[in-house]
Chain A
């Protein structure tokens, strides 16, 4: 068995490891092998590093629902996975969550790059962002918004363990406070 991360969130930011490297390493340490995604600008360094590591099978799908279905099948076949997407992509998922991931007890791990807040420039993104947490709450899905690098490994590691142990989906929302978000350039 893997040992749970015992490191308490360290409020002094001493490590130089960037957020995407922390997620990459924590997925690997928890034997997550399959990563399906619909791309997002902010997630690009993470997607790039997953593709560069033979441990992972990573590929883009045409829709987030499709990515969810692939991970559900892989889990039932004995392979752990994670879904990467943007806020607007999450908004396409409620039916697949409510009729597949939740009732079939699939420990679906979702990483959501948060658009629509803290400097959003697209009204549509801001609107769709407001639907995300109410949908997660309505479905009773465990969710964490990650804002700090020093808490990232702890939250990701513990969330994967809890998802697997309780056979339940989990949403990890990557705040612009963590990733820097997408800058308004216009």
Chain B
């Protein structure tokens, strides 16, 4: 056994915030019909609870695909800002997608990760970010150099404003508590897709 000390927690100086509150702050900065892809579960439930913009897409399955879907929208509509809103468990399932995003470097794409270190919706089992895995370090390792932890709400908003105005891709991660979402999304996939396409101006 090595007698090296375990590495200091990557989350040591980060305030534990609340997903619904952060999502409200995020949505308050969306003034240009930005597309938002809400990942499976609590992430899109809280997005739904913040008001149903037609430019929001709510996932009801396909865990891990918020970043790939957002990348697809960003490639199809390069003049629109696109945000992927994802949880730690989901992102861990499709980490390779960060390397694809880094390779393509879409200027209009930002990723926001709500990291509670657990699979909250299935009973709070720990994810690997509850141990030593560091979302921001992994994103930088993938090649997304504009990746930052939001240490508090004020910093989260500053990073969001920057992600919406400067060239991407970028990633913002926030440590959040283990509270469930405050509402649940309407579960009608065809309706969600149709509204989203109209919100993006693809269907009249």
- Using CB atoms and an 8 Å cutoff, list the residues of chain A in contact with chain B: 34, 57, 59, 61-63, 65-79, 81, 95-96, 98-100, 103-106
A/B interface sample: 12 pairs, CB < 8 A: A62-B96, A67-B68, A69-B69, A69-B72, A70-B69, A75-B72, A76-B76, A77-B72, A77-B76, A95-B61, A96-B62, A100-B61
- Is B160 positioned at the interface, with any CB of A under 8 Å from its CB? no
Complex CA distance for A6 and B89, rounded to whole angstroms: 49
What residues of A have a CB within 8 angstroms of the CB of B68 in the complex?
A: 61, 65-70, 72-73
Complex CA distance for A16 and B100, rounded to whole angstroms: 36
| Chain B residue with Cβ nearest A69 | B68
| Chain B residue with Cβ nearest A99 | B61
Grouping DSSP codes into helix (H, G, I), strand (E, B) and loop, the B interface class, with mixed when no group exceeds half, is: helix
The answer, among B60, B67, B69, B193, for a CB contact under 8 Å with A99, is B60
- Is B181 positioned at the interface, with any CB of A under 8 Å from its CB? no
| Chain B residue with Cβ nearest A105 | B190
Stretch at the interface among B13-21, B166-174, B195-203: B195-203
Shortest beta-carbon contacts, A-B, top 9: A99-B61, A73-B72, A62-B96, A77-B76, A69-B68, A69-B65, A79-B76, A74-B72, A73-B69
Known: A62-B96, A72-B72, A76-B197. Contact between A104 and B103, CB under 8 A? no
What residues of B have a CB within 8 angstroms of the CB of A66 in the complex?
A: 65, 68, 94, 96-97, 100
Grouping DSSP codes into helix (H, G, I), strand (E, B) and loop, the A interface class, with mixed when no group exceeds half, is: helix
Q: Within B41-78, which residues are at the interface with A (CB < 8 Å)? A: 57, 59-65, 67-77
| Chain A residue with Cβ nearest B194 | A105
Complex CA distance for A104 and B80, rounded to whole angstroms: 22
The answer, among B63, B75, B94, for a CB contact under 8 Å with A77, is B75
Complex CA distance for A38 and B60, rounded to whole angstroms: 25
- Is B189 positioned at the interface, with any CB of A under 8 Å from its CB? yes
Q: Is there an interface contact between A61 and B100, defined as CB atoms closer than 8 Å? A: yes
Known: A65-B65, A66-B94, A100-B59. Contact between A77 and B200, CB under 8 A? yes
| Chain A residue with Cβ nearest B57 | A76
